[in-house]
């Protein structure tokens, strides 16, 4: 007795990614299912609702090589990931993690042609992104003084975007150029910018926006924002840190779809951390002091927040420490890297492809074409164009259009009813 289609969908949507990838080789219908955008979204929502894990990047104290590990939120180490060989270098930069996709780059601006990759570890899939528009050949003899990156997802447009900001200097005159890559269109676009100088290159993604800490034109500190939907930059004011009395280092973090700012003293054996939450009230951005942490002994800098409000901190020995503001207790996590080498990001397994929507549509054409071949008996030779495979049945254009539409309805009916 066969399972009802809706029951099968219910079961498959709760399985791990690796199991689903193995099942894809069993039946063509399952292969089509795990590549279908509706199923990918449903599977992702269920995974996010469960307890996710952390992805931690650090440099080994023994080998000096970069290590990327998966940890449960309580600090238990699950496994070390095998970094794609194209990114295995001393200059590895972890740009961001979003819905199961990791973005990696080379932390060097001397070579503007350094590769950037998208990587889905759960599916053992990665892809080098197309060459960007702003390269060594078109900066017109300007000196490159810095490159900042940001990676995130905007739910309203269902697209993953990467922003690349290049700081240039020509005849001692600073210049900023920026470009954005869209996974949906698989291309780069150069965009207008404001004047700013990003001095904290790590980026935080929250609710379709990217954020960096930067300087403005009058050397005042601010938060630079980027709206991934409108592809436009903006500015936010920082909270008043002068009341703290001494210079502060700053780190942005995301927690429960809100932007947080963590300020801390750089010197001294004991560190204090001040945590602000950004809130919007009557279309105005306000900062609320959420908590004060410390003084703590033997810690170096904050790295980020967990889903439950704990704060990850790097110790002065390169260890990862989990601090609970509620109980004011700390817990050591069994990872130790070189000082100032650790980064933490939230991670969840997903079926999101590094090839984006174009690959999904190509795969759907392939499946529909194979179904037409089975129904009509034979097809002409497959034609390949723009990396897509199109099957052309022996039928008039009007008949072919009708068949594809009917098959599309049948596939959706099979999978989602």
| Max mean pLDDT range (42-46, 173-177, 208-212) | 208-212
pLDDT value of position 310 = 87
Rounded Cα distance between 10 and 335, Å, is 37
Q: Is residue 94 domain-shared with residue 14, that is, in the same domain?
A: no
pLDDT number for residue 412: 44
CATH number for the domain harbouring residue 137: 2.120.10.80
66 vs 368, higher pLDDT: 66
pLDDT tens string 371-413: 434 434 443 333 333 333 333 333 333 333 333 333 344 434 4
Indicate whether 88 and 187 sit together in one domain: yes
Please list the alpha-helical segments (H only) found in 108-251: none
Q: Are residues 124 and 203 in the same domain?
A: yes
When pLDDT is cut at 50, 70 and 90, the band that residue 109 belongs to is low
d(CA 189, CA 177): 11
Given this model, what pLDDT does residue 49 score?
80
Count: domains in the chain:
2
- Please state the φ and ψ torsions of residue 122, each to the nearest 5 degrees: -65, -35
In a domain, residue 135? The reply is: yes
Rounded to an integer, the average pLDDT of 175-183 is 94
Residue 17 counted as domain residue: yes
- Do 18 and 146 have their domain in common? no
> Of 114, 125, 124, 131, nearest to 186 (Cα)?
131
From 300, 302, 297, 298, select the one nearest 276 (Cα to Cα).
302
What mean pLDDT do residues 201-212 have? 94
Q: Would you state the pLDDT for residue 333?
A: 85
- Nearest-angstrom CA–CA distance, 344 and 9: 33
Could you tell me the pLDDT band of residue 157, with boundaries at 50, 70 and 90?
Answer: very high
**Cβ neighbours of residue 156 under 8 Å, at least 6 residues apart?**
208, 229
32 and 115, same domain (yes or no): no
A 10 A CB-CB count for 369 gives: 19
Question: What are the tens digits of pLDDT across the range 25-59?
Answer: 888 888 888 889 889 999 999 988 876 788 999 99
Residue-range definition of the domain harbouring residue 118: 84-237
Pairing of strands 343-347, 329-336: unpaired
What are the helix and strand counts (H, E) for the chain? Answer: 6, 26
What's the confidence (pLDDT) of residue 13? 87
pLDDT-derived band at 108 (thresholds 50, 70, 90) equals low
Select the more confidently predicted residue: 280 or 354: 354
pLDDT class for 2, splitting at 50, 70, 90? low
- Looking at residue 75, its pLDDT comes to 64
For residues 133 and 24, state if they share a domain: no
């Amino acid at each position: 007795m066969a399972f009802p289609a809706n029951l099968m969908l219910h079961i498959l949507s709760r399985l791990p990614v690796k199991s689903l990838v193995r099942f894809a080789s069993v039946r063509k219908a399952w292969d089509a299912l795990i590549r279908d955008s509706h199923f990918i979204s449903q599977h992702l929502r269920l995974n996010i609702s469960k307890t996710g894990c952390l992805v931690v990047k650090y440099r080994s104290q023994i080998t000096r090589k970069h290590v990327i590990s998966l940890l449960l939120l309580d600090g238990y180490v699950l496994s070390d990931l095998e970094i794609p060989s194209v990114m295995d270098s001393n200059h590895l930069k972890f740009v961001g993690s979003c819905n199961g996709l990791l973005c990696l780059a080379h932390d060097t601006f001397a070579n503007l042609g350094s590769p950037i990759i998208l990587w889905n570890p759960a599916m053992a899939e990665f892809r080098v992104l197309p060459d960007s528009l702003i390269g060594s050949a078109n900066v017109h003899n300007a000196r490159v003084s810095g490159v900042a990156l940001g990676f995130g997802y905007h739910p309203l447009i269902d697209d993953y975007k990467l922003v690349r900001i290049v700081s240039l200097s020509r005849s001692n005159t600073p210049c900023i150029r920026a470009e954005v890559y869209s996974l949906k269109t698989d291309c780069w676009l150069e965009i207008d910018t404001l004047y700013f100088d990003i001095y904290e290159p790590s980026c935080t993604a929250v609710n379709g926006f990217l954020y960096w800490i930067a300087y403005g034109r009058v050397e005042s500190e601010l938060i630079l924002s980027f709206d991934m939907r409108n592809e436009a930059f903006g500015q936010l004011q920082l909270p008043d840190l002068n009341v703290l009395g001494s210079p502060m280092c700053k780190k942005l973090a995301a927690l429960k779809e809100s932007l947080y700012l963590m300020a801390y003293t750089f010197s001294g054996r004991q560190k204090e951390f001040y945590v602000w939450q950004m809130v919007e009230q009557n279309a105005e951005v306000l900062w609320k002091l959420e908590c004060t942490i410390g003084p703590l002994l033997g810690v170096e800098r904050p790295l980020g927040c967990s889903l439950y409000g704990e704060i990850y901190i790097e110790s002065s020995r390169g260890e990862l420490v989990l601090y609970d503001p509620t109980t004011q207790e700390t817990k050591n996590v069994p990872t130790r890297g070189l000082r100032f080498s650790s980064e933490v990001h939230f991670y969840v397994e997903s079926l999101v492809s590094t090839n984006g929507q174009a690959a999904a549509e190509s795969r759907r054409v392939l499946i529909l074409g194979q179904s037409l071949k089975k129904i009509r008996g034979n097809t002409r030779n497959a034609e390949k164009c723009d990396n897509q495979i199109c099957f052309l049945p022996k039928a008039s254009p009007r008949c072919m259009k009708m068949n594809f539409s009917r098959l599309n309805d049948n596939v959706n009916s099979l999978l989602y009813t």
